[in-house]
């Protein structure tokens, strides 16, 4: 298993709309395993394939208290959304050390394939619902900061560019 490099905002590849996974084959199963390892190593609760520069409709998440119950969503679709909204303090592995409030649906129903290619449908709420919506946004080419004001987005871009320069110089 390998830790995969994660694209950083504002990398334009993060705005790529992912295509459906054609088949759940060994390549996809290996990608899933590597994404789960990467998510845990980076202490995230979710990771979309787009974030590791694979533009296929697939994400992994683990919102369990012990972070020991990874879930796999291949070709996910939100098939139902609650009218009720929640405001959640979100972060993202592609936008490290940046957190802000985003309004999401409180509950969603997601239809997808699991890591074996079996179809399932799952009702989610709380952090799991927020995470699924966040990761599906990635698959649709949208990063959570795009929900924020233009001023906040520009500040985040500047912060991320500064951090990238510092990392390139070995400062961070």
Contacts of 90 (CB under 8 A, 6+ apart): 99, 100, 101, 102, 130, 134, 144
Known binding-site residues equal 92, 134, 138
Catalytic option among 43, 66, 135, 154: 135
Q: Please tell me the distance from the alpha carbon of residue 83 to that of residue 72, in angstroms, as a whole number.
A: 26
Look up residue 93 and give its two tokens: 């592995």
Instruction: Work out whether the CA dihedral 27, 32, 36, 41 comes out positive or negative.
Output: positive
Binding site listing for Fe cation:
92, 134, 138
Distance CA 59, CA 27 (A): 15
Residue 116 appears among annotated catalytic residues: no
State the catalytic residues: 135
């Amino acid at each position: 298993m390998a830790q995969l490099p994660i694209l950083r905002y504002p990398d334009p590849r993060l705005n790529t709309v992912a295509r459906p996974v054609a088949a759940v084959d060994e390549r996809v199963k290996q990608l899933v395993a590597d994404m789960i390892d990467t998510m845990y190593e980076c202490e995230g609760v979710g990771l979309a394939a787009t974030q590791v520069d694979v533009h296929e409709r697939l994400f992994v998440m683990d919102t369990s208290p012990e972070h020991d119950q990874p879930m796999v969503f291949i070709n996910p679709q939100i098939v139902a959304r609650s009218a009720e909204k929640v405001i959640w303090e979100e972060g993202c592995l592609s936008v490290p050390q940046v957190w802000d409030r985003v309004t999401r649906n409180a509950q969603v129903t997601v239809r997808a394939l699991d890591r074996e290619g079996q179809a399932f449908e799952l009702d989610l709420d709380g952090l799991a619902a927020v995470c699924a919506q966040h990761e599906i946004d990635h698959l649709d080419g949208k990063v959570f900061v795009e929900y924020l004001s233009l001023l906040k987005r520009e500040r985040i871009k500047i912060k991320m560019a500064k951090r990238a320069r510092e990392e390139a110089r070995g400062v961070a």
